[in-house]
Amino acid sequence: MDFLSTPDAEGFFGSYGGSFLPAPIQKEIDKITEMYLKLREDASFWTEINSIRKHYQGRPTPLYYCNRLSKAYQAHIYLKREDLNHTGAHKLNHCMAEALLAKKMGKNKLIAETGAGQHGVALATAAAYFGLSCEIHMGEVDIQKEKPNVDRMIVLGAKVIPATHGLKTLKEAVDNAFEAYLKDPEKSIYCIGSVVGPHPFPMMVRDFQAIVGQEVHDQYLQMLGKLPDHIVACVGGGSNAIGMFSAFLDERVELHGVEPAGKGIHLDGQHAATLTKGKRGMIHGFKCYNLEDEKGEPLAVHSIASGLDYPGVGPEHCMLKDSGRVDYVSVTDEECIQAFYELSQLEGIIPALESAHALAYAKTLGTLDAGANILVNLSGRGDKDLEYVLKNFPAHEYYLEEQESNPI
């Protein structure tokens, strides 16, 4: 496996990233870094991961050409089908590897926070596979909202622990998960769910997600004999996007990261477009762009896609924004819902609301660069979102008119 040259030894991507933690936690995190750097050079570690990916996760995931959606969007739309991973999203790519690392370190418990429950479900799955115990911290408010995922975690054998202080959502769940980890750092590990948090997580999760870009680089060349003009991926913390982009950073392909504009990027608290609207700052022990108020407190964020509403973002994306290598844009809730119904009704594929943000931007690209070849990372499937969508954006308002057959 080829590794990118970033980050530096302290975990910096340019001026972003690093690790800013109290000394006792830092000592434990350093052990994780040390172990990972060793395993990274160990071929048998990757052989085991690749075997899990093939026989358990269902990799390689397909590359698919959208016949009907391409006509509607006036461009050739290709999907990398990460929704076909076991458990329905790209998250298992890093959860299985984090769990294997934990096992190699002699740990017996995985701890994490979860917002909508997607990371919790993926980690509970990995824990069941490796025979580790699993403790997921989740805000009481989110537990009420995300019952199907809470049920999945419980059936998988994980302990779901409610966070009952403050706003009872994601931030409080992070507080509690950290506390639980500090009580037993010898035998447990805190598994971060994206390319965020202190070093080594942004590097490690990127390496584990790089399989997405590596696979599709070859698949695309095989299918078309050349690379796409554009690649589009949604950005929450940034793991599916960086996994996709990492194989194309040195190629002549335009890369687009799509953030949630929610109800509009001009309305504070109503979006989560961190790279588009944020300032340089610090959150959860690392440096990145942040959505924060004058006092430096994290701002409230909103997106209909709960996997995207985080007020920070991966440090590597911050570096790629400043260098101009990746174009970061945003898509509103309404544009996302349109794309959600369009892919469902034109291709028979129901996307996660997160992934529908990337599709919505592919539609915009079709108007800017008609006839272009556009590859979209379809990070997950939308089953988890059906109840919410049908209640708030009823299907009868979105039935598509008979499509004109546009030659493209």
Ligand X SMILES: *Cc1c(COP(=O)(O)O)cnc(C)c1O
Annotated catalytic residues are 66, 90
Using rule CB under 6 A, residue 234 touches ligand X: yes
Residue 245 C-beta: closest distance to ligand X, Å: 11
* Among residues 278, 285, 307, 311, the one that binds ligand X under rule CB under 6 A: 307
Q: Is 48 helix (H, G, I), strand (E, B) or coil?
A: helix
Residue 91 C-beta: closest distance to ligand X, Å: 6
The window from 56-64, 230-238, 248-256, 324-332 that contacts ligand X (CB under 6 A) reads: 230-238
Residue pair 244/233 in contact (Cβ under 8 Å)? The answer is: yes
Using rule CB under 6 A, residue 237 touches ligand X: yes
Pick from 196, 191, 190: nearest CA to 13: 196
Using rule CB under 6 A, residue 315 touches ligand X: no
Residue pair 271/277 in contact (Cβ under 8 Å)? The answer is: yes
> Any alpha helices (H) in 261-372, and if so which ranges?
274-277, 315-323, 333-347, 353-368
Residue 338 C-beta: closest distance to ligand X, Å: 18
Residue 113 C-beta: closest distance to ligand X, Å: 12
Q: Is 186 helix (H, G, I), strand (E, B) or coil?
A: coil
The C-alpha atoms of residue 29 and residue 67 are separated, in whole angstroms, by 47
The C-alpha atoms of residue 162 and residue 111 are separated, in whole angstroms, by 13
How many helices (H) and strands (E) are present in the chain, helices listed first?
15, 14
Using rule CB under 6 A, residue 238 touches ligand X: yes
Cis peptide before 60 (omega within 30 of 0): yes
The C-alpha atoms of residue 229 and residue 102 are separated, in whole angstroms, by 39
The C-alpha atoms of residue 209 and residue 221 are separated, in whole angstroms, by 20
The window from 1-9, 21-29, 63-71, 350-358 that contacts ligand X (CB under 6 A) reads: 350-358
> Any alpha helices (H) in 74-139, and if so which ranges?
92-104, 118-130
The window from 34-42, 171-179, 228-236, 272-280 that contacts ligand X (CB under 6 A) reads: 228-236
Nearest to ligand X of 198, 237 (CB atom): 237
Residue 220 C-beta: closest distance to ligand X, Å: 20
Using rule CB under 6 A, residue 235 touches ligand X: yes
Binding to ligand X by CB under 6 A, coded x per residue (else -) over 372-401, reads: -------xx---------------------
Using rule CB under 6 A, residue 290 touches ligand X: no
Binding to ligand X by CB under 6 A, coded x per residue (else -) over 183-222, reads: -----------x----------------------------
Using rule CB under 6 A, residue 121 touches ligand X: no
Nearest to ligand X of 18, 380 (CB atom): 380
Half-sphere exposure of 400 (CA within 13 A, CB side): 17
Using rule CB under 6 A, residue 118 touches ligand X: yes
- Consecutive H or E run containing 138: strand 133-139
The C-alpha atoms of residue 218 and residue 212 are separated, in whole angstroms, by 11
**Tokens coding 176:** 């509690």
Pick from 133, 78, 67: nearest CA to 103: 133
Using rule CB under 6 A, residue 278 touches ligand X: no
Count of residues engaged in binding ligand X, rule: CB under 6 A: 19
Pick from 268, 264, 212: nearest CA to 238: 212
Residue 226 C-beta: closest distance to ligand X, Å: 27
Using rule CB under 6 A, residue 354 touches ligand X: yes
The C-alpha atoms of residue 172 and residue 162 are separated, in whole angstroms, by 9
The C-alpha atoms of residue 355 and residue 385 are separated, in whole angstroms, by 12
The window from 104-112, 145-153, 166-174, 232-240 that contacts ligand X (CB under 6 A) reads: 232-240
Nearest to ligand X of 308, 372 (CB atom): 308
Residue nearest to ligand X (CB): 380
* Among residues 117, 120, 213, 236, the one that binds ligand X under rule CB under 6 A: 236
* Among residues 85, 246, 290, 355, the one that binds ligand X under rule CB under 6 A: 355
The window from 16-24, 133-141, 351-359, 385-393 that contacts ligand X (CB under 6 A) reads: 351-359
Pick from 191, 196, 238, 237: nearest CA to 18: 196
Phi/psi of residue 54, nearest 5 degrees: -75, -50
Using rule CB under 6 A, residue 260 touches ligand X: no
Q: Which residues contribute to the site for ligand X (CB under 6 A)?
A: 89, 91, 118, 194, 234-241, 307-308, 352, 354-355, 379-380
